[in-house]
């Protein structure tokens, strides 16, 4: 496809910084610069969007986690023990930083071509989407051999999530959001209509599913959607002024966190449960936040792709 949606998405991938994650070519390309920021009947919760508020000056300071040799970190997750997992694009490997340690270790998920999305279940099972290989893998806790999950017909899978029941969720370029119920061999397409480019996904304890939808090249229709459990229609959350939202995560209190990429500045927003006003969290120097996670204590973690680092913002 020339001059159409595929070309726009090729440009959109440049927003990842050092590497192009091309959904057209299915391979990495180097780039010298990042580009500028890039209709269904959806209901905006509680009325109009509100402009994000800046973080309080009393906010804690970010810290860089001791992952050594990172090149283009992407997907990110934290397990119940506080271990932090990150996908290292430079080696196409999954790394783990055990809680309290300053030395990361490799996770036995070998043979990956272009790992991107990442999730960790409550039992310690690890899930990874392989973007260019169009596959999703599960590494059971304590195992050394991954299992390919029966997601058939995937096209460049991106975001990953898993709920407490073991149901697995993935976004892809089609565009659609798929759910593989635990124990099933048949994925189900969730009723997210009018999607442009679904990227990150998350699920809360109630089974509500969240998706970031990036509109390129201008971001005018970029949004964050929520599909309540059992509902046939998604609702739009009141995030305003997003450029290209990537990762999304929700904590146990129902607060929603979004990593947004636009131009040379990356931002992270938090929408407190029951609020219509997102708050911008303080991550100085952030450029291309892709993955995002939050632990049980409320600490927020972000991969900064272009700056080759993983950041942690301690809870207040």
The pTM for the full model equals 0.85
Asked whether 104 and 124 are in contact (CB, 8 A), the reply is no
Instruction: List per-residue pLDDT tens for the chain, 316 residues long.
Output: 333 444 444 344 434 333 334 333 333 333 322 322 222 222 222 233 344 655 544 568 999 999 999 999 999 999 999 999 999 999 999 999 999 999 999 999 988 999 999 999 999 999 999 999 999 999 999 999 999 999 999 999 999 999 999 999 999 999 999 999 999 999 999 999 999 999 999 999 999 999 999 997 766 899 999 999 999 999 999 998 999 999 999 999 999 999 999 878 999 999 999 999 999 999 999 999 999 999 999 999 999 999 999 999 999 8
Q: How far apart are CA 270 and CA 289, in angstroms?
A: 14
User: Domain ranges in the chain?
Assistant: 39-313
Asked whether 172 and 178 are in contact (CB, 8 A), the reply is yes
Mind giving me the DSSP string for 147-205?
EE---TT--S---EEE-TT--EEEEETTTEEEEE-TT-SS-EE----S-S-EEEEEE-T
Q: How far apart are CA 190 and CA 205, in angstroms?
A: 17
| Fold held by 39-313 | Neuraminidase (2.120.10)
Both tokens assigned to 208: 């509500």
């Amino acid at each position: 496809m020339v001059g159409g949606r595929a070309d726009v998405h090729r440009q959109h991938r440049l927003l990842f910084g050092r590497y192009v994650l091309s959904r057209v070519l299915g391979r990495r390309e180097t780039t010298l610069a990042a580009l500028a920021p890039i209709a269904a009947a959806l209901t905006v919760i509680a009325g109009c969007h509100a402009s994000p508020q800046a973080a309080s000056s009393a906010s804690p300071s970010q810290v860089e986690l001791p992952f050594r040799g990172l090149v283009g970190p992407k997907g990110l997750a934290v397990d119940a023990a506080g271990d932090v997992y990150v996908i290292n694009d430079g080696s196409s490997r999954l790394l783990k930083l055990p809680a309290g340690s300053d030395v990361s270790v490799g996770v036995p998920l070998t043979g990956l071509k272009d790992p991107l999305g990442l999730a960790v279940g409550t039992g310690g099972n690890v899930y990874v989407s392989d973007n260019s290989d169009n596959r999703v893998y599960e590494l059971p806790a304590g195992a050394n051999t991954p299992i390919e999950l029966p997601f058939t017909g995937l096209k460049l899978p991106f975001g990953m999530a898993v709920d407490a029941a073991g149901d697995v969720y993935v976004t892809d370029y089609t565009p659609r959001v798929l759910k593989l119920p635990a124990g099933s061999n048949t994925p189900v397409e969730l009723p997210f209509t009018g999607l442009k480019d679904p990227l990150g996904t998350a699920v809360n304890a109630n089974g509500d599913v969240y998706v970031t939808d990036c509109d390129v090249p201008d971001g005018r229709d970029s949004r964050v959607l929520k599909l309540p459990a059992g509902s046939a229609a998604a609702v739009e959350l009141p995030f305003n002024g997003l450029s290209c939202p990537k990762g999304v995560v929700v904590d146990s209190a129902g607060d929603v966190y979004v990593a947004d990429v636009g131009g040379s500045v990356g931002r992270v927003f938090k929408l407190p449960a029951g609020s219509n006003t997102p708050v911008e969290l303080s991550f100085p120097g952030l450029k291309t936040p892709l993955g995002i996670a939050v632990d049980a204590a409320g600490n927020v973690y972000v991969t900064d792709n272009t700056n080759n680092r993983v950041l942690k913002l301690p809870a207040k």
